[in-house]
Amino acid sequence: MVKHSQLFIDSLIHPKKLAGYRMLTIGKVIQYVFILTTFLTIFSFIQYITGVSNENTFNIEGFAQYVEDIQWLLYPFSLIVLFLTSTTLLFIQISIFALVGFGLLKLMKRRGEYSHMWRSASLAITWNTLLFILFPFIPIDSSIGTLLGIIITVFLLFIASTKYPKMPVK
């Protein structure tokens, strides 16, 4: 059985192995996605608590005092909402990237199903997720960071697609 740490390492430095992991059980892949989501949520929550963000925040004294009064309630609620939102967005991103990867399979005349490419995309999105975590600390425009993450993920899916079996010649 493949460990999550091995999946993480392979998704970062061995993009050719992403195609091989298409045969993993969906449960193992979803566990990996939830681990990524947990890391993403923890770092986003730390940013929320510390106030580190690329976006401008407003500071109204009355609102700030209200938030201080209900902080004990606000933090657990915001953590739950942040986790649910991050999970939903990550699963949507993986599904979209899997659709792009499935299109690559068809263009390259490779054999594979959408579910196989979904598994590959869920591992290929690791770089995108790590970059998303790091970009608030790097002075880069968020749209450039998003574009860079998309390009890297599609490139990794392209490399993985080359390792899928070829379609039989008719």
pLDDT at 72: 66
- Is 60 exceeded by the pLDDT of residue 141? yes
Res. 55: pLDDT tops 80: no
Please indicate, yes or no, if residue 66 is contained in any of the structural domains: no
Range of the domain at 108: 4-50+91-162
From residue 79, give the alpha-carbon distance in Å to each of 17, 37, 102, 151, 165: 34, 12, 34, 30, 43
Closest CA to 123 of 7, 6, 20: 7
Is residue 103 a part of any domain in this protein? yes
pLDDT band at 161 (very low <50, low <70, confident <90, very high): very high
Count of CB atoms situated within 10 Å of the CB of 18: 27
Q: Quick one: pLDDT band at residue 64, thresholds 50, 70, 90? A: low
Half-sphere exposure of 162 (CA within 13 A, CB side): 7
How many domains in the chain? 1
Does residue 117 sit within a domain? yes
The whole-number pLDDT of residue 22 equals 84
Would you state the pLDDT for residue 52? Answer: 57
Residue 23 lies in a domain: yes
Q: Report the residue count for the chain.
A: 170
Is the residue at 12 inside a domain? yes
| Better pLDDT: 58 or 23 | 23
Answer whether residue 80 is part of any domain: no
